[in-house]
Amino acid sequence: MTFKGIIREIISTLIWVAVIFLGIKVFYAYVMEPFIVDGRSMEYTLHDGEKMFMMKLNDIERFDVVVFPAPGGSISTDEPQSLYIKRVIGVPGDTIAYQDDQLILNGVQMDEPYLDDMRADVLGNFTSDFQLEEITGTATVPEGRVFVMGDNRRNSLDGRSFGFIYAEDIIGEADYIYWPLSSMRALDQYEMNENQDTIVQSD
Protein backbone atom coordinates (compact mmCIF):
# COMPACT_ATOMS: atom_id res chain seq x y z
CA MET A 1 0.00 0.00 0.00
CA THR A 2 1.31 3.46 -0.89
CA PHE A 3 1.88 6.25 1.63
CA LYS A 4 -1.19 8.07 0.30
CA GLY A 5 -3.21 4.90 0.71
CA ILE A 6 -2.12 4.55 4.32
CA ILE A 7 -3.06 8.17 5.03
CA ARG A 8 -6.43 7.58 3.38
CA GLU A 9 -7.05 4.53 5.58
CA ILE A 10 -6.11 6.44 8.74
CA ILE A 11 -8.40 9.34 7.84
CA SER A 12 -11.23 6.94 7.00
CA THR A 13 -10.80 5.16 10.34
CA LEU A 14 -10.76 8.47 12.26
CA ILE A 15 -13.95 9.57 10.51
CA TRP A 16 -15.70 6.32 11.43
CA VAL A 17 -14.54 6.65 15.05
CA ALA A 18 -15.86 10.23 15.13
CA VAL A 19 -19.21 9.15 13.63
CA ILE A 20 -19.58 6.33 16.17
CA PHE A 21 -18.65 8.63 19.06
CA LEU A 22 -21.13 11.27 17.87
CA GLY A 23 -23.81 8.59 17.48
CA ILE A 24 -23.28 7.44 21.07
CA LYS A 25 -23.46 11.04 22.32
CA VAL A 26 -26.71 11.65 20.43
CA PHE A 27 -28.14 8.34 21.68
CA TYR A 28 -27.35 9.25 25.30
CA ALA A 29 -28.67 12.79 24.86
CA TYR A 30 -32.00 11.94 23.23
CA VAL A 31 -32.81 8.24 23.62
CA MET A 32 -31.30 6.35 26.57
CA GLU A 33 -28.63 6.93 29.21
CA PRO A 34 -27.05 4.70 31.88
CA PHE A 35 -27.59 5.55 35.56
CA ILE A 36 -26.41 4.06 38.87
CA VAL A 37 -28.85 3.93 41.78
CA ASP A 38 -27.33 5.63 44.82
CA GLY A 39 -29.18 5.13 48.10
CA ARG A 40 -32.15 3.23 49.48
CA SER A 41 -35.01 5.63 48.83
CA MET A 42 -36.53 3.43 46.09
CA GLU A 43 -36.23 0.00 47.73
CA TYR A 44 -37.56 -2.60 46.97
CA THR A 45 -38.24 -1.30 43.46
CA LEU A 46 -34.60 -0.34 42.93
CA HIS A 47 -31.61 -1.24 45.08
CA ASP A 48 -28.52 0.74 45.96
CA GLY A 49 -25.75 0.14 43.40
CA GLU A 50 -27.97 -1.27 40.65
CA LYS A 51 -27.16 -0.05 37.16
CA MET A 52 -30.02 0.84 34.86
CA PHE A 53 -30.90 2.51 31.61
CA MET A 54 -33.17 5.52 31.75
CA MET A 55 -35.24 6.46 28.73
CA LYS A 56 -35.41 10.12 27.82
CA LEU A 57 -39.01 11.23 28.39
CA ASN A 58 -41.49 12.86 26.07
CA ASP A 59 -44.49 12.67 28.39
CA ILE A 60 -44.43 12.34 32.17
CA GLU A 61 -47.19 10.22 33.65
CA ARG A 62 -48.25 9.30 37.16
CA PHE A 63 -46.21 6.51 38.74
CA ASP A 64 -43.26 6.84 36.34
CA VAL A 65 -39.93 6.37 38.13
CA VAL A 66 -37.88 9.39 37.09
CA VAL A 67 -34.38 10.81 37.43
CA PHE A 68 -33.82 14.53 38.05
CA PRO A 69 -31.24 16.92 39.56
CA ALA A 70 -31.32 17.31 43.33
CA PRO A 71 -33.63 20.28 44.07
CA GLY A 72 -31.76 23.32 45.31
CA GLY A 73 -28.38 21.81 44.47
CA SER A 74 -25.66 24.01 43.07
CA ILE A 75 -24.13 23.17 39.71
CA SER A 76 -20.32 23.23 39.73
CA THR A 77 -17.74 22.21 37.16
CA ASP A 78 -15.69 20.69 39.98
CA GLU A 79 -18.53 18.69 41.54
CA PRO A 80 -21.39 17.51 39.30
CA GLN A 81 -24.89 18.02 40.63
CA SER A 82 -26.40 15.03 42.44
CA LEU A 83 -29.26 13.18 40.80
CA TYR A 84 -32.36 11.85 42.55
CA ILE A 85 -34.58 8.97 41.48
CA LYS A 86 -38.20 8.95 42.70
CA ARG A 87 -41.72 7.99 41.63
CA VAL A 88 -44.18 10.53 40.23
CA ILE A 89 -47.26 10.55 42.45
CA GLY A 90 -49.02 13.66 41.20
CA VAL A 91 -49.17 15.56 37.90
CA PRO A 92 -50.65 19.02 37.22
CA GLY A 93 -54.16 19.41 38.61
CA ASP A 94 -53.93 16.48 41.04
CA THR A 95 -54.81 16.70 44.72
CA ILE A 96 -52.81 14.39 47.00
CA ALA A 97 -53.19 13.25 50.59
CA TYR A 98 -52.24 10.26 52.72
CA GLN A 99 -54.47 9.06 55.52
CA ASP A 100 -54.14 5.85 57.51
CA ASP A 101 -51.38 4.69 55.14
CA GLN A 102 -53.57 5.12 52.05
CA LEU A 103 -53.02 7.36 49.05
CA ILE A 104 -55.97 9.66 48.37
CA LEU A 105 -55.55 10.92 44.81
CA ASN A 106 -58.09 13.41 43.53
CA GLY A 107 -60.40 12.44 46.37
CA VAL A 108 -60.21 8.69 45.65
CA GLN A 109 -58.57 6.30 48.10
CA MET A 110 -56.41 3.71 46.36
CA ASP A 111 -53.74 1.10 47.03
CA GLU A 112 -50.21 1.43 45.66
CA PRO A 113 -49.18 -1.99 44.28
CA TYR A 114 -45.56 -0.92 43.70
CA LEU A 115 -45.16 -0.75 47.50
CA ASP A 116 -46.46 -4.26 48.26
CA ASP A 117 -43.10 -6.04 48.61
CA MET A 118 -41.59 -3.56 51.02
CA ARG A 119 -44.73 -2.95 53.05
CA ALA A 120 -44.89 -6.68 53.73
CA ASP A 121 -41.66 -6.31 55.73
CA VAL A 122 -42.71 -3.18 57.67
CA LEU A 123 -44.73 -2.98 60.86
CA GLY A 124 -47.14 -0.10 61.30
CA ASN A 125 -47.93 2.72 58.89
CA PHE A 126 -45.54 2.96 55.96
CA THR A 127 -46.44 6.50 54.82
CA SER A 128 -47.15 9.22 57.39
CA ASP A 129 -50.37 11.22 57.01
CA PHE A 130 -50.20 14.52 55.15
CA GLN A 131 -52.13 16.74 52.77
CA LEU A 132 -50.45 18.40 49.81
CA GLU A 133 -51.43 21.89 50.93
CA GLU A 134 -49.82 21.38 54.33
CA ILE A 135 -46.37 20.81 52.85
CA THR A 136 -46.44 22.87 49.65
CA GLY A 137 -48.89 25.69 50.37
CA THR A 138 -51.13 24.72 47.44
CA ALA A 139 -53.91 22.15 47.24
CA THR A 140 -53.16 20.97 43.69
CA VAL A 141 -50.04 20.23 41.67
CA PRO A 142 -49.29 23.38 39.60
CA GLU A 143 -48.94 23.41 35.83
CA GLY A 144 -45.47 22.39 34.67
CA ARG A 145 -44.58 20.60 37.91
CA VAL A 146 -44.93 17.15 39.45
CA PHE A 147 -44.93 15.73 42.97
CA VAL A 148 -42.56 12.82 43.61
CA MET A 149 -41.91 10.37 46.44
CA GLY A 150 -39.50 7.51 47.05
CA ASP A 151 -40.99 4.02 47.37
CA ASN A 152 -39.09 3.54 50.64
CA ARG A 153 -41.36 6.04 52.37
CA ARG A 154 -39.59 5.85 55.73
CA ASN A 155 -36.19 6.58 54.24
CA SER A 156 -36.68 9.03 51.38
CA LEU A 157 -35.91 12.71 50.91
CA ASP A 158 -38.64 13.65 48.45
CA GLY A 159 -41.53 15.99 47.70
CA ARG A 160 -42.59 15.91 51.33
CA SER A 161 -39.39 17.85 52.07
CA PHE A 162 -38.64 19.88 48.92
CA GLY A 163 -42.12 20.25 47.39
CA PHE A 164 -42.71 20.11 43.65
CA ILE A 165 -40.12 19.67 40.93
CA TYR A 166 -40.28 21.14 37.45
CA ALA A 167 -41.29 18.61 34.81
CA GLU A 168 -38.74 20.12 32.41
CA ASP A 169 -35.93 19.26 34.85
CA ILE A 170 -36.61 15.52 34.62
CA ILE A 171 -33.78 13.80 32.76
CA GLY A 172 -35.33 10.40 32.09
CA GLU A 173 -37.47 7.48 33.22
CA ALA A 174 -36.08 4.32 34.82
CA ASP A 175 -36.68 1.54 32.34
CA TYR A 176 -34.29 -1.43 32.52
CA ILE A 177 -31.88 -2.76 35.16
CA TYR A 178 -28.85 -4.39 33.55
CA TRP A 179 -26.51 -4.90 36.51
CA PRO A 180 -25.98 -7.03 38.50
CA LEU A 181 -26.84 -9.76 36.05
CA SER A 182 -28.83 -11.62 38.70
CA SER A 183 -31.17 -8.60 38.94
CA MET A 184 -31.49 -7.92 35.21
CA ARG A 185 -35.09 -6.96 34.49
CA ALA A 186 -37.46 -4.44 32.96
CA LEU A 187 -38.97 -2.18 35.59
CA ASP A 188 -42.70 -2.72 36.18
CA GLN A 189 -44.84 0.15 34.90
CA TYR A 190 -48.09 1.38 36.46
CA GLU A 191 -51.03 3.51 35.40
CA MET A 192 -54.59 4.42 36.36
CA ASN A 193 -57.42 2.21 35.16
CA GLU A 194 -60.16 3.56 32.90
CA ASN A 195 -62.30 4.61 35.86
CA GLN A 196 -59.35 6.48 37.39
CA ASP A 197 -59.93 4.80 40.73
CA THR A 198 -57.32 2.01 40.81
CA ILE A 199 -53.58 1.80 40.13
CA VAL A 200 -52.86 -1.14 37.83
CA GLN A 201 -49.75 -2.59 36.22
CA SER A 202 -49.34 -1.57 32.58
CA ASP A 203 -49.29 -4.23 29.87
**pTM, whole model, 2 decimals?**
0.81
Residue ranges of domains in the chain: 1-30, 34-201
Residue range 34-201 in CATH 3.50.50.60: no
Least Cα distance to 165 among 34, 66, 97 occurs for 66
Q: How many CA within 13 A on the CB side of residue 100? A: 2
Active-site residue, 12 included: no
Closest by Cα among 164, 189, 191, 167 to 176: 189
Of the candidates 4, 12, 41, 161, the residue annotated as catalytic is 41
Question: pLDDT per position in the chain (203 positions), as tens?
Answer: 676 666 767 776 777 776 666 655 555 555 568 888 988 999 989 999 999 888 876 688 999 999 999 987 544 434 456 889 999 999 999 999 999 999 999 999 999 999 998 888 888 888 999 999 999 999 999 999 999 999 999 999 999 999 999 999 998 898 889 999 888 898 999 999 999 899 999 87
- Show the CA angle centred on residue 12, arms to residues 9 and 14, nearest 5°: 110
51 is catalytic: no
* Options 56, 74, 76, 86, the catalytic residue: 86
Gap between the Cα atoms of 132 and 159, Å rounded: 9
**How far apart are the C-alpha atoms of 123 and 117, rounded to whole Å?**
13
